[in-house]
Chains A and B, each alone.
Chain A
Amino acid sequence: MTEEKEILTVSPGVQTDKTEFNPEEAYEKSKFALETENLTVTFNGREAISDINSKFRKHTITAIIGPSGCGKSTFLRSLNFMHDLTPGAEVSGSIKIHGKDISEYDMTDVRRRVGMVFQKPNPFPTMTIYDNVAAGLTLHKRQSRKILDETVERSLRLAGLWEETKDRLKVSAMALSGGQQQRLCIARTLAINPEIVLFDEPTSALDPISTSKIEETLYMLKKDYTIIIVTHNMQQASRLSDYTSFFYLGKLIEHSKTRTVFTAPKNKLTEEYVIGKFG
C-alpha cells in the first residue's frame, strides 16, 4: 500500500501537453521507460491503430483495456517489432525506449529490452523446462553452465514456479499445466532480463487460481520492471495497475491513473466501457 501511495504522489498525471517545454518535464521524461508518438499501424493500408501518443513510467504497471478489435494487441506488438512477421503490416511514428529512438537500437536488442508474454502459453515443445527458460540466453550466445543455472533459478523464482519445478527441470515443458506453462513463459521472458515486459491477456486462458498467482508475480515484478498488460478483466486492471489506457476503434481515448479511469474518467466513452455499457 505504501508503495502505491508513493507512486500516486510522485506522478502528476501523464496527460502532458507536448507543445510547451519546461525543465521539470524534461526531468520527468527520463522517468519514462517507453514513449510513443503518433504511433500508427496499418495492415495492407488499413489503419488498425492511429496516432497513439503514450508514455509509460518506469516501474509501473499500465493496463490497456478496450473492446475486442480496438487495437490493443496491435499496439503492444508494435513496441517490440512483432509486426515484422506480418506481411502487409506497416508501423509508423516514433517509439522511444528510455528516451532514445527505437531506430538507434538493434532489432534483437529491442526485443531483449522489451520482453513479451503472449495470451496463449507457448513453451517450446521440444525443450525441457530448464532449456525453455534458458533458451533466450543459449540461443543468443554461449553461456557458462553456472550463469545459466543461476539465471534459470532466479527467473523461475520470480515467476513463482521454482518450488513446483525445481525437482523436474529436465522434464519436457509440455508436462506442465496451462497455468504453469504460462508462468514458465514469464520466467523465459524474465531470463533475458528485459526492462519492459509486455503482457497480452496473459491470464485469459487460465483458471482463477493460476490467474491470481500470475497477478502476484506481476505485482512483485513492478519493483524491477516496467509492465504493460492488456486485459479484458476490469477487476484485474483496477487491482493491478497504476495507470490505465483505454483504446477504442484504434485510438487511445484516455490514459490516466487507474483510479481516475475507474472512478472519474474524463471521457464519456471510457466511463461507458468501464461500467460495462458496451464491449
Chain B
Amino acid sequence: MPDIEAKERKIIKSTRKLSDILFENATFLFALLIAAIVIYIFYEMFMDSAESREKFGFGFITSLNWDSVRGEYGAMTFIYGTVVSSVIALIIALPVSIGVAVFLTEIANSITRSAVSFLIEILAAIPSIIFGFWGIYVLAPFMRTVIQPSVQSVFGFIPIFGGSGAGFGLLTAGIILAIMITPIITAITRDVLKAIPVSQREAAYALGATKWEAIKMALLNAKSGILGATVLGLGRAVGETMAVTMVIGNKAQIKESLFEPAYSMASVIANEFAEASGTLHISALIEVGLILFGVTFIINSFARLLIYSFTKKAQTR
C-alpha cells in the first residue's frame, strides 16, 4: 500500500457510561435467558425420558401398546389421535378462516370489521378448559344425538363414519380444535392479505375482473403466507391439551371410525402424569412429551419461516 494514500483517520468514539453498559448487558442476559430456557426444556425432557428411550428404543414410536400394569409403553395410538384430530381441525378451520379473513379485509365496513375482529380476538382468548367443558355438555351430546345418526344414515357404509361412539371421539375433538384454531389462522391470513398491495387489486379491477377474481388473485399471491398461518394453526392443534382431553374419549386405540373414542399425546400426559405408576411410566410420558415437543417445534419453525419470508417479500415489493 503506498504511503501517501494511507490517510490516517482518528475515529471519534463516544465513551460509554458504566450504567449504560450494565443496562444493555442486563437486557441481553434476559434475551439470552429465553433462548436458554427453550434449549433447556429440550435437554431436560431428553434426559428425563432416558429410561423409556433405553428400554423401548425406536419401537416406542410404532408400538400400539400402552399398559402400565405390564410396564409396556408405545406412543402410536396417541400419535394417531393427535394427527387425525388435528387434520380434521385443519380441514374445517382453513376454509372458514380464509373466508373470515377475506370478509374482514375485503367486504366488511369498518364498524363490522372491528366488531368481528373483536369477537374473534375474544374467541382466541377463551381458556381451553371452557371449550372442553362446553364440549362435554353441549357438543358431545349434539354429536351423539344429531350429527352421528344423520351422517350414518347417509354415509354409514363408509368405515370412517361407522362405529358406535357416544359423542366423544376424534371428530368431536377435531371440531373443538377447529373452533380453537380459527382465530389464529384468521388473524395471520388477514395480516397477510393486508400486506398485498392495493395497487394489484386495482389493476385487476381495471382489467375488468370481478371482486372475487381480484380477491382470488390476492389469495394466490398470499399463498405462502396463508400456508404459514395454516401450519401455525396445525401447531396449536397438535399441542392443545385440555379441550381435547375432555372430548376425545381417552381410549388408547386406533379405530377406523371418526366417531370412536381415541387418545392424544397431550391428553395422555395430562391424564396420567400426576398419578403415574412408577419411574418408567413417568419416563414414557415424558418421551411422549418429547415427541410432541419435537413435532410442534418443527411445525412452528416451518410456519414462522414461511411467515417471515412472506412478510419480508411483501415489504420489499
Q: Touching in the complex, A and B, CB below 8 A?
A: yes
**Chain A contacts for B14, CB-based, 8 A:** 81, 84, 107, 110
* Complex: chain B residue closest to A105, CB-CB: B15
Contact between B12 and A95 (Cβ–Cβ < 8 Å)?
yes
Could you say which residues of chain A place their CB within 8 Å of the CB of B312?
Answer: none
Q: Which of A102, A106, A108 contacts B12 (CB 8 A)?
A: A102
Nearest Cβ distance between residue A83 and chain B, in whole angstroms?
A: 9
A90 lies within 8 A of chain B by Cβ: yes
Task: State the interface size on chain A (CB cutoff 8 A).
Answer: 17
Residues of A within 8 A of B10 (CB): 92-94
Q: Which residues of B contact A91 (CB under 8 A)?
A: 11-12
Question: Is A212's CB within 8 Å of the partner chain B?
Answer: no
B16 interfacial contact with A, CB 8 Å: yes
Is A107 within 8 A of B15, CB to CB? yes
Q: Answer yes or no: B17 CB below 8 A from chain A CBs.
A: yes
**Chain A residues near B16 (CB-CB < 8 A):** 107
CB distance from A279 to the nearest CB of B (A): 29
Q: Does B70 contact A (CB under 8 A)?
A: no
CA distance A98 to B273 in the complex (A): 73
Q: Is B317 an interface residue, CB under 8 A from the partner?
A: no
Least CB distance from B302 to A in Å reads 30
User: Which A residues from 107 to 125 make CB contacts under 8 A with B?
Assistant: 107-108, 110
Query: Is A94 a contact of B12 with CB atoms below 8 Å?
Result: yes
Closest-CB distance, A174 to chain B (whole angstroms): 25
- Distance A107 CA – B15 CA, assembled complex (angstroms): 6
In the bound complex, do residue B11 and residue A106 qualify as a contact, i.e. CB atoms below 8 Å apart?
no
Check: A180 CB closer than 8 A to any chain B CB.
no
Most interface-central of A78, A84, A92, A93 (chain B CB within 10 A): A92
User: Do A107 and B17 touch (CB < 8 A)?
Assistant: yes
Does A68 make an interface contact (CB < 8 A)?
Answer: no
CA–CA, A260 and B13, complex, Å: 36
Task: Tell whether, in the assembled complex, residue A92 and residue B11 are in contact, meaning their CB atoms are under 8 Å apart.
Answer: yes
Contacts of A94 in B (CB 8 A): 10, 12
Selected from B12, B15, B17, the residue in CB contact (under 8 A) with A93 is B12
Answer yes or no: A40 CB below 8 A from chain B CBs: yes
Q: A90 touching B17 by the CB < 8 A rule?
A: no
Does A103 reach chain B (CB closer than 8 Å)? yes
- Shortest distance from the beta carbon of B285 to any chain A beta carbon, whole Å: 48
Whole-angstrom CA separation of A78 from B10 in the bound complex: 14
A106 to B13, CA, bound (A): 11
Residue of B nearest to A94 (CB): B10
Decide if A92 touches B9 in the complex (CB within 8 Å): yes
Q: How far is the CA of A38 from the CA of B11 in the complex (A)?
A: 11
How far does the Cβ of A24 sit from chain B's closest Cβ, in whole Å? 28
Nearest-neighbor residue (CB-CB) of A42 within chain B: B9
Q: Considering the chains assembled together, what is the distance between the CA atoms of A110 and B14 in angstroms?
A: 10
Interfacial chain B residues near A93, Cβ < 8 Å: 9-10, 12
Instruction: Among A78, A107, A110, find the residue whose CB has the most chain B CB atoms closer than 10 A.
Output: A107
Interface residues of A in 70-92 (CB under 8 A from B): 78, 81, 84, 90-92
Minimal beta-carbon separation of B93 from chain A (angstroms)? 41
Q: Which of B1-40 contact A (CB under 8 A)?
A: 9-17
- Say how far A200's CB is from chain B's closest CB, in angstroms: 19
Q: In chain B, residues 171-222, which have Cβ atoms closer than 8 Å to a Cβ of chain A?
A: none
- Residues from chain A with a CB closer than 8 A to the CB of B12 are 78, 91-95, 102-103
CA–CA, A102 to B17, complex, Å? 16
Q: In the docked arrangement, what's the CA distance between A98 and B127, Å?
A: 65
Q: B interface vs A, CB < 8 Å?
A: 9-17
The list of the 4 closest CB pairs from A to B, nearest first, reads A92-B9, A107-B14, A91-B12, A81-B14
Given A92-B9, A110-B14, 14 other A-B residues pairs in contact with their CB atoms under 8 A: A38-B9, A40-B9, A84-B14, A91-B12, A92-B11, A93-B10, A95-B12, A103-B12, A106-B15, A106-B17, A107-B14, A107-B15, A107-B17, A108-B17
Residue numbers of A with Cβ under 8 A of B are 38, 40, 78, 81, 84, 90-95, 102-103, 106-108, 110
* A/B interface sample: 9 pairs, CB < 8 A: A38-B9, A40-B9, A84-B14, A91-B12, A93-B9, A94-B12, A102-B12, A103-B15, A107-B16
